[in-house]
Amino acid sequence: MSKFSVFNGPVVVVGGGVAGLVTAHLLAEHGAKVVVVEKFSRVGGLARSYEYEGFSFDCGPHRFHTENPNIQAYIDRVLGSEVAVFPRKSEVYFEGSYYRWPLHPKNLVQLPPKLAAKSAIDLAINGWKTYEGSSFEDYVLRQYGPTLYENFFKGYSIKFMGIHPKDTHPDWAKVGLNRAIIDDKLQMQNLSQLAKSTFLQFNKAEIDFTYPKTGMQLAWDNVRALFEAKGGRVVTGEGARLIGGNGKIDAVEFGNERIEPSLVVWTAPITLATDQLGIERPNLPYLATLFYNVLVRGDLPRNYQWCYYGADDIVFSRASIPRCFSPDTCPPGTTGIQLEVTCREGDERWRHAERLTDWVVSDLLKVGLVKNRTDVQNVYVERVPNTYPIYHSGYPKELERTRRALSQYENLHLAGRTGMFWYNNMDHSMENAMQLSKRLLRDSGRDDAEEALLAKGILKAG
């Protein structure tokens, strides 16, 4: 049994996002004494919501999907009947027209004829071509050929990440693009796969997504309530600080409090942990996002959940419509639209985000989402740091060095998206939390942790 048992003293979870809350809840279910410290005024982390004037907007649009029955069982229990279920509806705006997204073999033919022909030729011959090198650019060229790369991926990627695809690690494409943009079930590497894929798509069942009726916040408020019902404590509005000792974290400080923990689960940015512990700051940067939450009178001409805008003369890179996730996210007769502009924390855009509001509204008119400026009832601006890890070409070495340096603290465990510098989704943070809590319980002498959760119906048998 580990000397750092979850039953030997308080466990401090830094960060009340998905990973932190689920870990805390599962440990508390087994009788551990757990305190969650969250810097923001409410829980949920990157999956929290904002509410104003009867509208609800998430911190970026969040659709939930998992193939893992344990995660599905957990989320079903958390949400009960308070769910909306819908098929995917994503689009891309390209040269004044809207197309279905992920790029679908069927709608290649709907692209402007020259572009469609060139893309089809690329796809037909790219099986024979080799692209040396191992950047994001090489990866996309290999998968989709030069036409789609030049027209869709390159511009969007520069606009979104602020770095050139040549300097971006291919992991960005593998975990990011494949998950977020490209439907990885569609194989388009050559013409026969394209034809087969096109044919099969006619009968393919759509993936359904789950969404809490009143906004994503509901899910994490419910997990918080489950945790507190088991004696857990949540402190919000306080940033936690690690005090390192000889091979272990001696204390965690927040507000006027100091806790000497048995274990610390760290889900805040990995670079903050290195700063606090006096470890050389690694080159592991995060993107930040400005969210323009627009309250609109009346209906909209489009009904996608979200749409990508790659052109560099449009200020936002994505728009989303919460009403297409659940009608309960806005008052009757109105619609919310959320626009995302990426930046770096503290840069010019970040500091003067409000100055972009007029430009954002003008672009809404330009892309045809809003007909008249007078339809806009109000715009709220939110600045969110650490939204995406930036996978530059040297990030794996930096991450490895940092993880090694932090592993000298035996009672410190990294988890979640920001804590592990991991471009993931909510279900991955939940899975990570389940694995971590199971391991910590096993190391503390509880080999029956999984069976106990199965018996309570928190996980699913089989």
Residues in the chain: 462
Binding map of ligand FAD across residues 258-297, x = CB under 6 A, - = no contact: ---------xx---x----------------x--------
Kindly state the smallest distance separating residue 449's Cβ from ligand FAD, in Å. Answer: 21
Candidate ranges 193-201, 322-330, 421-429, 449-457; the one touching ligand FAD (CB under 6 A): 421-429
List of residues 6+ apart from 408 with CB closer than 8 A = 247
Least distance to ligand FAD from the beta carbon of 138, Å? 26
Tell the smallest beta-carbon distance from residue 241 to ligand FAD (Å).
Answer: 7
The CA angle 437-440-442, to the nearest 5 degrees, is 105
Shortest Cβ 380–ligand FAD spacing (Å):
16
> What gap in Å lies between CA 47 and CA 215, rounded to an integer?
10
Q: Using CA atoms in the order 314, 315, 316, 317, what is the torsion angle rounded to 10 degrees?
A: 60
Site string for ligand FAD, 97-136 (x = CB under 6 A): ----------------------------------------
Query: How far is the C-alpha of 46 from the C-alpha of 160, rounded, in Å?
Result: 18
Q: Which ranges of 250-303 does DSSP label H, i.e. alpha helix?
A: 270-276
Nearer to ligand FAD, 102 or 146 (CB): 102
Nearest CB to ligand FAD, comparing residues 179 and 401: 179
C-alpha 216/C-alpha 208 separation (Å) is: 16
> Is 159 an interacting residue with respect to ligand FAD (CB under 6 A)?
no
Of 236, 242, 234, nearest in space to 271 by CA:
242
Q: How far is the CB of 117 from ligand FAD (least distance, A)?
A: 34
- How would you class 21 by CB atoms within 10 Å of its CB: exposed for 0-12, middle for 13-18, buried for 19 or more? buried
Quote the least distance from Cβ 2 to ligand FAD, whole Å: 24
Min CB(262)–ligand FAD separation in Å: 18
Tokens representing 297?
């009178």
Residues 6+ apart with CB under 8 A from 397: none
Nearest to 345 by CA among 309, 316, 387: 387
- The type of residue at 180 is A
> Binding of ligand FAD at residue 86 (CB under 6 A)?
no
What gap in Å lies between CA 403 and CA 415, rounded to an integer?
Answer: 12
Contacts of ligand FAD in 316-375 (CB under 6 A): none
Site string for ligand FAD, 11-50 (x = CB under 6 A): ---xxxxxxx----------------xxxx----xxx---
Q: How many chain residues interact with ligand FAD (CB under 6 A)?
A: 34
Structure tokens at 144: 């989709």
Question: How far is Cα 218 from Cα 82, in angstroms, rounded to an integer?
Answer: 9
CB of 437 to ligand FAD, least distance (A): 14
Q: Which of 326-334, 372-380, 396-404, 418-426 is the region at the interface with ligand FAD (rule: CB under 6 A)?
A: 418-426
Cis peptide leading into residue 102 (ω within 30°)? yes
Q: Cβ 442 to ligand FAD, closest distance in Å?
A: 22
CB of residue 100 vs ligand FAD: minimum separation in angstroms?
A: 17
Alpha-carbon distance of 461 to 452, in angstroms, equals: 11
Q: Which of 138, 363, 427, 431 binds ligand FAD (CB under 6 A)?
A: 427
Report in angstroms the alpha-carbon separations of 456 from 28, 60, 164, 214.
Answer: 13, 33, 49, 27
Both structure tokens of 462: 């089989």
Which amino acid belongs to residue 144?
Answer: Y
Q: From residue 192 to residue 231, what is the string marking binding to ligand FAD with x (rule CB under 6 A)?
A: ----------------------------------------
Segment near ligand FAD (CB under 6 A); pick from 278-286, 322-330, 414-422, 448-456: 414-422
- Site string (369-398) toward ligand FAD, x via CB under 6 A: ------------------x-----------
Name residues whose C-beta falls within 8 Å of residue 274's C-beta, 6 or more positions apart in sequence.
Answer: 280, 281, 282, 402, 405, 406
Tell how strand 49-52 and strand 257-259 pair up. Answer: unpaired
Question: Is the Cβ of residue 369 or residue 384 nearer to ligand FAD in the bound state?
Answer: 384
CB of 256 to ligand FAD, least distance (A): 15
β pairing state of 263-266 and 412-414 = parallel
> Is 426 among the residues that bind ligand FAD (CB under 6 A)?
yes
Q: Are 70 and 456 in contact (CB under 8 A)?
A: no
In the complex with ligand FAD, which residue's Cβ is closer, 135 or 293? 293
> Quick one: how far is CA 173 from the chain centroid?
15
Q: Looking at beta carbons only, is 149 or 423 nearer to ligand FAD?
A: 423
**One of 28, 79, 181, 240 touching ligand FAD (CB under 6 A):** 240
Closest approach of ligand FAD to the CB of residue 430, in Å: 9
Residues 59-78 that bind ligand FAD (CB under 6 A): 60-64
Residues that bind ligand FAD (CB under 6 A): 14-20, 37-40, 45-47, 60-64, 239-240, 267-268, 272, 289, 387, 416-418, 424-427, 429
